[in-house]
Amino acid sequence: MPLLANTPVDRTAGPYPRRWWALGVLCLSLLIVVMANTSLIVAAPDMTRDLRLSSSDLQWVIDGYTVPYAALMLVLGAIGDKYSRRGALVTGLVVFAGGSVLGSVVDETGLVIVARAIMGVGAAVVMPATLSLLVAMFPKGERAKAITAWTATSGLAIAVGPVVAGWLLERHAWGSTFLINVPIAVAAVIGAFALVPPSKAEGMGRIDYVGGLLSIVSVGTLVYAIIEGPHFGWGTGPVSAAVVAGAGFVAFTLWELRHPHPMLDVRKFRLRGFSGSMLAVLFFFFGTFGSIYYATQFLQFVLGYDALETGVRLLPLAGAVFAGAAATGKLTPRLGVRAVIVPGMAIGTVAVFLLTRIDEGSTYGDFLPSLLLLGFAIGLSVSPATDTIMDSFPESELGVGGGANDTSLELGGSLGIAVLGSLLATAYQDRLSDLVGGRLPAAALEAAQDSVGSGLAVAEQVAADPAGGAQQARTLVGAVHEAFAHGVAHTSLIGGIIMAAGAMIVLAVLPGRRPPREETEEIPAAAADAMDTGSGLHRAGR
């Protein structure tokens, strides 16, 4: 076996022989990109204490990664198509590792946010490159299995990130949760050169940089508005960002419709398979990221599990993802995409609704059914949705296709954490005020309402008061637990309703097992012939 994989992908010469080994490298790369967010969830309490983070600071430590990650994927996917997909993967891994090293050694809030932003840029290169290389390497008959493995890796990372971070936090400071990315990134770089073949689009032409800039402005300001508005109020900044995002999307659409080689052919959204699958990914990760966000806090702050114990209790979700992925491999070829995606969304909706039963007396066992159903739903439905999205793009636009899929994923996750997190915070604050308002000084109540962690910290301060503070502290702890449990139940009801509405929309948009006659007729005969060679304009809706 040669030390370097230097033979470019040539579909006419048959499948790349080491494609399954190369898939392992792509999945390893994907693993650390997703783990970068999930591991931070359990590291957040230690970071908050050491850096004295405010609620706003912590939000931007999390979202300093999210904004560049979401905004840049489309453009960086196109650049990878043009010049080198493997080169993009390696470059992204190096940038990601560099940001991880910086994050592990700094001790100032601003520098941590900068490190997270650098990691976000690296992730924006890596994520679309993994999908574009996967589609380039695997023939159509094997692609669904490969994408299923890719999807299962995302589910694994959601659960493994907190476990690894929790194990490290028992022995080391929170900076170690950044540093764990480095050896994995190094192994992925070595594996990329040894196993992943060179790949780039042939005859792609010039990159539509104007469209790319408009997409960055649109997505970046939209994510900013999503993050800032629900959590910190719809002041001038978030409103202005939302207006800029709206204007940017209009300008982007008009530009792309007129450009001979657009960054993203927006006409694809007329294809029901593509648009329905994009919506499915968005709604899925809205529910998943939002639910895990507050379930993890309940396990830590209400049930008192440490970081490692919390991570271990998320592992059933990963197992359920693998079970769902195994099922979708058998069901999708027989039943079709809609018959798998929509029931999967229904299962995910039930998983979120189950959390409406949570109260202050709930245990881990009350969360377990929801975690299992949510994981199974992800494994069942996200893989065929991603396969349909990627099948909508010709070979010359695989990086853009990966960027489109991943942007939908990241927008859904950002919306889930921001919107559901905001609803949770409001419900918690109102309930806590009802329970202890008037019995705490105004300043103490305001501090306790900031978050469940802040509420417990105020209780510790009250307990230290020698003038009979122990009983008052116990009362406050009970109130904090009850208020947060109420917030989880209330938020889950609204989140479940949103998920149910999303499932109905996807059901209406996705085509049946056979594409509608009018959609088939939209595809010119020449393009239909070209689809077999990977250069057609449309391959969606199947």
Instruction: Indicate the pLDDT class of residue 474, thresholds 50, 70 and 90.
Output: confident
542 occurs within a structural domain: no
Separation between Cα atoms, residue 161 and residue 7, nearest integer Å: 34
Shared domain check, 33 and 173:
yes
Decide if 27 contacts 149 (C-beta within 8 A). yes
- Mean pLDDT of the 371-388 span: 91
Shared domain check, 334 and 276:
yes
Shared domain check, 328 and 242:
no
H or E element at residue 106: none
How far is residue 528 from each of residues 389, 510, 535, measured CA to CA in Å? 17, 20, 10
Alpha-carbon dihedral sign for residues 275, 281, 287, 289: negative
Alpha-carbon dihedral sign for residues 48, 53, 59, 63: negative
The two tokens of residue 74 are 């489309």
Nearest to 44, CA basis, from 169, 138, 139: 169
- Mean pLDDT of the 121-125 span: 94
Decide if 178 contacts 37 (C-beta within 8 A). no
Shared domain check, 411 and 338:
yes
Shared domain check, 179 and 67:
yes
- Measured at the alpha carbon of residue 32, what is the angle toward residues 329 and 58, in degrees to the nearest 5? 120
Average per-residue pLDDT in the chain? 84
Shared domain check, 155 and 135:
yes
- 121-146: buried (b, 16+ CB within 10 Å) or exposed (e) per residue? bbbbbbbbbbbbbbbbbbeeeebbbb
Shared domain check, 214 and 94:
no
| CATH number (domain holding residue 87) | 1.20.1250.20
Boundaries of domain holding 233: 208-262
- Please give the pLDDT value at position 5: 65
Instruction: Indicate the pLDDT class of residue 129, thresholds 50, 70 and 90.
Output: very high
- Please give the pLDDT value at position 529: 35
Residue 186 has pLDDT above 50, yes or no: yes
| 262, 278, 303 - which closes a domain | 262
Shared domain check, 299 and 214:
no
- Which has the minimum average pLDDT: 20-29, 268-277, 333-342, 415-424? 415-424
Match 């780039």 to its residue by tokens.
200
Decide if 73 contacts 127 (C-beta within 8 A). yes
- Please give the pLDDT value at position 2: 53
181 occurs within a structural domain: yes
Separation between Cα atoms, residue 234 and residue 226, nearest integer Å: 10
Residue 537 has pLDDT above 60, yes or no: no
Shared domain check, 257 and 175:
no
How far is residue 507 from each of residues 92, 216, 340, 373, 492, measured CA to CA in Å? 36, 30, 11, 20, 22
Shared domain check, 323 and 185:
yes
Match 């700094």 to its residue by tokens.
106
Shared domain check, 286 and 180:
yes
476 occurs within a structural domain: no
472 occurs within a structural domain: no
467 occurs within a structural domain: no
- Mean pLDDT of the 530-535 span: 34
Decide if 345 contacts 382 (C-beta within 8 A). no
Shared domain check, 288 and 370:
yes
Separation between Cα atoms, residue 470 and residue 28, nearest integer Å: 49
Separation between Cα atoms, residue 281 and residue 294, nearest integer Å: 20
| 240, 262, 284 - which closes a domain | 262
Match 């003038």 to its residue by tokens.
467
pLDDT per position as a tens digit, 487-523: 999 999 999 999 999 999 999 999 876 544 434 334 3
Nearest to 79, CA basis, from 251, 212, 217: 212
- Mean pLDDT of the 26-49 span: 85
Match 């097992």 to its residue by tokens.
513
Decide if 5 contacts 16 (C-beta within 8 A). no
Separation between Cα atoms, residue 509 and residue 37, nearest integer Å: 31
> Could you tell me where the beta strands, DSSP code E, fall in 451-534?
none
Please give the distance of CA 37 from its chain centroid, rounded to a whole number: 8
Nearest to 117, CA basis, from 54, 70, 177: 70
465 occurs within a structural domain: no
pLDDT per position as a tens digit, 267-297: 998 999 999 999 999 998 888 888 888 888 8
Separation between Cα atoms, residue 384 and residue 333, nearest integer Å: 10
Q: How far apart are the first and last CA of the chain?
A: 38
463 occurs within a structural domain: no
535 occurs within a structural domain: no
pLDDT per position as a tens digit, 242-258: 888 899 999 999 999 99
Decide if 138 contacts 146 (C-beta within 8 A). yes
- Please give the pLDDT value at position 516: 41
Give me the number of domains the chain comprises: 2
